[in-house]
Structure 1
Amino acid sequence: MPIFEYQCNDCGNEFEELVFDRDECPPCPKCGSKETGKLMSAVRSRVGGGPAASGGESESAPAPAASSGCAGCSGGNCSSCG
């Protein structure tokens, strides 16, 4: 069951809601209006766990592909990959 972000068309309140049906738009918890719409959620992920890259690299740049690593993590970045 995913959590979606919504915005009320009447009062402008933005809220998150756990929904069972992806087409369902729940009422606004602030004003009770049923005139709500789903927002686009931003997704951000980083592979590697090291410090953030610097030197002009954009934060939205795609993360480098993980190396084959060991059988334990398959990422080449755990304590057993030494």
Structure 2
Amino acid sequence: MRLSAKTGADVGVSTPKIPTATVPKADDFYIQAGDKYKKGDLQGAIADFNQAIKINPNFANTYYNRGIARSELRDKQRAITDYN
């Protein structure tokens, strides 16, 4: 099929025109959380950090940044937990 695409030969098969679903990654939620944090949506940022952690519990920067957001919301105890 790759060869036919290069040569322009019609083999009666084409790629689907509908988008293919992708599984969200921890990085996707981490980036979204950072955007929400910058906009002042601390609760939304924490929710996205939670999703990133659910997907990848070893993503250390996520815990740290969630701790910062929690600290700004004066949730000091949970912030400390995230820092540890």
* TM class, shorter-length: under 0.3
- State the TM-score, normalized to the length of structure 1: 0.22
More strand by share: 1
TM-score (norm 2): 0.21
| Higher fraction of helix | 2
